[in-house]
Structure 1
C-alpha cells in the first residue's frame, strides 16, 4: 500500500507499507520436575522449545525461531498462542495459563502509554516497511526429565498447510545465541530477563 502521509509540521513522510497484520510468538519454558524449585540449579535447567523450518524469504531451509503464528480475524492473541502451541509443540494448555510479556513490560494491557499513539504492546520486527506486530507470550511448566528428550527432533506442524517443522530444545541461557537470527527470540530474551529482574514474572 502507498499513502500520502505528513507530520504535524506538514512535512511529507515515506509511506510504502506491506500490510501483513498481527502475529503472536510464544516462549515455552520447560523445567525438569526433579529440580528443586527456587534452587540455583533451576536457572541452568530452564529449557526452551524452538522450531526449525524452511523460511524462503530468509534464504534458509532450517531457520531456528520461536514458535509463532498469524492472528485470526477474531484478534484473539492468547487464543492464537495456545492454538499454535498445540499445533507446533503438541502441548495443550488453556490460554489463561499464558502470560503476555509485552503487556507486562508496558505495565498494563493493550497500548504503549508513553508513545501516546495507541500502539499495541508488541514487538515490531520491521517497522520501516511492515505493519506486523508481535506480542510475546510465555508459559513455564515442570515436566518429567525423560519427557524433555521427546521434544528434540520431533516433527510437527500442519502438513495440509505445508508446514514441516522440527522441534529443537535449547537451554534458556543459550537462547540469545541459538536464536540470534530471529527477532522474536532476541525480544523474548530481553523481555524475560527484564521482567524477571523487576519481579514481574
Structure 2
C-alpha cells in the first residue's frame, strides 16, 4: 500500500491506496475528480457566517481506498473508499463512498400521430426490462439508461436495443434536460456546486443521473405493432427487452426504479407549469 498527499488540499489530506491502484490511475478517474472537487467546494462554503457548520467547520482529514474494480484491463470502473471528515470538536460525518460516476436516464414518450398534440392521450413510455443483479432481479423494469457519447448521441446497451427494435436513434439536439429545467443551479461560490442530476442513493454512492425527455409522434399502426412486439418476451439469450407502458401507469409498473419515479415526477411538474 502506498500513500500520497491529495493535490491542493488544506489541511493536507493523505490518500492511502490499495496495492492494485496507483496515484495516476486514481487522479485520472473522472468519478473521483468530480466527487472530490464537489466535496472540497462544499466544505469551502462553511466559511460563510450563515452556514450551519460555520462555528465548527468540518474538514477532510484522510481518504482510504478500500477496493477497485477494473473494466477491460486497466480502466478503472468502480472504487470503494472511506473518508475521515471531522470538525475540531471530534464530531465526524459518515464517509463510506462507492464511486461510479454519472449516467443519463431517458424518458422516451411515444404518442399516435392522430391524437391532438395538445393532449396527454395514449402516451406510452419505453421501459427496459433486464437483469439487475445488485437488486437480485433478472427482470427489473426501468427507464433506459446509458451515456451521451462524444457524438452527442444517447449510447449504451439500452440505446442499442431501442435502435435495433424500433429504428429510433435519439440525437442530443432533440433531447430536453428535465433536470436542468427543474433543478436550481448554483448562483454563487457560496452555494454548493452539485451536479445537475438526480442522486438515487446519496447516502453511499456518488452516482448522479441527468434525466432527459424525448417525445415522438408516430403512426398509430406502427405504435400498435411495436406495442405487441416490444411487450412480449423474445428469444432466449436476450439480456434487455423493451416494454411500452402507458404513461399514466408508469409510476406503478416501473415504481421500483428511482429513475422512473424521478422522471415521472419531473415530467408532471414541468408539464403542469407549462415548461414542456
1:129 has 2:201 as partner: no
Change (3 A) 1:141 1:15: same
RMSD of aligned alpha carbons: 2.6
- Alignment equivalent of 1:139, drawn from 180, 202, 214: 214
1:67 CA drift (Å)? 0.2
Greater radius of gyration (CA): 2
Q: Structure 1 pair 118/45, CA: closer, same or farther in 2 (3 Å)?
A: same
Question: Which of 134, 138, 144 is 1:61 aligned to?
Answer: 138
> Which structure has greater strand proportion?
2
Q: How many residues align?
A: 185
What per-residue deviation string (whole Å, max 9, x for no partner) do you get for residues 174-197 of structure 1?
111111100000000110011111
TM-score calculated relative to the size of structure 2: 0.61
Structure 1 residue 37: Cα displacement: 1.9
Tell me what 2:120 maps to. Answer: 43
Runs of 4+ in 1 over 6 A off after TM superposition: none
* Distance (Å, rounded) in 1 between the aligned partners of 2:238 and 2:192: 36
Report if aligned partners of 1:112, 1:121 keep a CA contact under 8 Å in 2: no
**Separation in structure 2 between the aligned mates of residue 121 and residue 112 of structure 1, nearest angstrom:** 10
Is 1:6 the counterpart of 2:86? The answer is: yes
SS class of match (2:269)? helix
> Which of residues 110, 131, 134 in structure 2 aligns to 1:30?
110
Q: 2:169 is matched with which residue? A: 92
Aligned to 1:52: 129
| Conserved 8 A contact 1:65-1:182 | yes
TM-score (ref. length: structure 1): 0.82
Shift in Å, 1:61: 0.8
Over residues 72-114 of structure 1, what are the superposed CA-to-partner deviations in whole Å (9 max), with x where a residue is unaligned?
6x6x8xx35x22464131111321100000000025xxx4559
CA distance in 1, matches of 2:106, 2:120: 19
Q: Decide whether aligned partners of structure 1 residues 34 and 120 sit closer, same or farther in structure 2, where only a CA change above 3 A counts.
A: same
Quick one: which of 141, 163, 168 aligns to 2:243? 168
Q: Unaligned stretches of 5+ in structure 2?
A: 1-80
Q: Is the 8 A contact 1:33 1:145 kept in 2?
A: yes
